[in-house]
A = this chain, B = another copy of it.
Amino acid sequence: MNDASSAAIQKPGQILARGVCRHLVGHGFVTVEELVPTPGLRVDVMALGPKGEIWIVECKSSRADFTSDAKWGGYLEWCDRFLWAVDENFPTELLPDETGLIIADGYDAEILRLGDETRLAPARRKAMLRTFAVHAARRLQLLRDPGLALAAPGS
């Protein structure tokens, strides 16, 4: 009931993101949504793994949603792995072989392909961990303290 009502006001990509984030819990990852690694980029899901891995997952609900995204190449330099999350009807042959692939719905997901790994340099990894922490803590504070008028650039 709660799931259905919240799903009704979410965009298709956000519903996929929810399933992705639930699934990644089982792999020991924590996640945030709609994180801005650098001005002008906003990633659907950023995931932090048990060994410090940083993954970006972009959620695409349709062919048009994918083909209209000219920015995705810019995400690669901000993560160790880049993966797409799509639903079971998505034409996955559109997606580059070197990127990862997750099939998702609003409730769970399955990782079909991890894609290539390109390890972040230590300085950028540290900066991304900090960005992740700041983003998560700001969003959390806004939810646990609705009375807060938070000036939160970048969140």
Contacts and interface: CB of A to CB of B under 8 A. Distances in A.
Interface of A: 2-3, 6, 18, 21-22, 25, 30-33, 48, 52, 107, 126, 129-130, 132-134, 136-141, 143-148, 150-151
Nearest to A30: B137
11 contacts: A6-B145, A22-B148, A30-B138, A32-B137, A107-B147, A129-B130, A132-B133, A136-B137, A136-B140, A140-B140, A140-B143
A26 B52 CA distance: 30
A147 B3 contact: yes
Nearest to A152: B25
Main secondary structure of the interface of A (DSSP, over half): helix
Contacts of A138: 30
A30 B32 CA distance: 16
A129 B122 CA distance: 14
Contact of A141 (B31, B145, B147): B31
Q: Which 6 A-B pairs have the closest CB atoms?
A: A136-B136, A30-B137, A133-B133, A3-B147, A136-B137, A140-B140
Contacts of A6: 145-147
Given A2-B147, A22-B145, A48 B140 contact: no
A25 B3 CA distance: 32
Given A25-B150, A129-B129, A33 B137 contact: no
A3 B52 CA distance: 37
A153 to B, nearest CB: 10
Contact of A133 (B21, B48, B147, B150): B48
